[in-house]
Chain A
């Protein structure tokens, strides 16, 4: 089930969501990663993906927190964050902007 984020949400804490980095075995946890460039692909409304513009914070045990920019939540509808790294088990995190 997706979390909902208000359109143009100004409070950063209310825009955040978790993602996790697992190894290619789908079990092991990847810690200490940094993300840049095309590592994460972000899309709105199932549209064309673009490099992420938000901020990634590592939590622990392979958990990371993505904080999209206000511009990344300016459109109502689904948003998605997809890993584009070859060392991470593929994921696609989807939420809703309402």
Chain B
């Protein structure tokens, strides 16, 4: 499954974390998978739309019902206004990719005020899958 978010406003300051909502389902592609912990290569993060992936270096917060929030590390933020992807890479999950197309630098630096509440707003809205 591929889920895309056209734009997520993030702060100009690259040291501020950005949040990406994602969710996990079982191999039937239906059943939500709450209560997961992630480590190592479980999540693959790319800053160039998947061409070059690395093990995740941020942190994950569980929201509930199989929904999670990934806090991208500062080094995972694409300063080139590119596309960040997060791919689940576990044998017990149906493969999914979550993509955010960044609009970096288009908004002023509010010193961390906007980043997390906005992302939570997206999480509440949910992803529109294709």
Binding site for B on A (CB under 8 A): 1-4, 11, 13-14, 16-20, 27, 29, 57, 59-63, 65, 91, 93
Complex-state Cα separation, A57 to B99, whole angstroms: 17
Give the Cβ gap from B58 to chain A, nearest Cβ, in Å.
Answer: 20
Query: What 1/0 mask marks residues of chain B from 114 to 126 whose CB sits below 8 Å from any chain A CB?
Result: 0000000000000
Known contacts: A3-B83, A61-B95. The answer to whether A16 contacts B49 by CB under 8 A is yes
Complex-state Cα separation, A65 to B127, whole angstroms: 20
Pairwise interchain contact B87-A93, C-beta atoms closer than 8 A:
no
Known contacts: A1-B128, A4-B6, A4-B101. The answer to whether A62 contacts B95 by CB under 8 A is yes
Contacting residue for B2 out of A4, A11, A19, CB 8 A:
A19
A-B contact count (CB 8 A): 75
Known contacts: A18-B99, A29-B95, A65-B50. The answer to whether A2 contacts B4 by CB under 8 A is yes
Pairwise interchain contact B130-A93, C-beta atoms closer than 8 A:
yes
Known contacts: A57-B51, A63-B87. The answer to whether A18 contacts B2 by CB under 8 A is yes
Binding site for A on B (CB under 8 A): 1-2, 4-7, 28-29, 44, 48-51, 53, 80-83, 85, 87, 89, 94-95, 97, 99, 101, 127-128, 130
- Contacts A18-B50, A60-B87, A63-B2 known; 7 new A-B pairs at CB < 8 A: A1-B128, A3-B83, A13-B48, A17-B4, A17-B49, A61-B89, A61-B95
Contacting residue for B83 out of A16, A62, A91, CB 8 A:
A16
Known contacts: A14-B82, A59-B87, A93-B130. The answer to whether A20 contacts B1 by CB under 8 A is yes
Complex-state Cα separation, A16 to B84, whole angstroms: 11
Give the Cβ gap from A84 to chain B, nearest Cβ, in Å.
Answer: 17
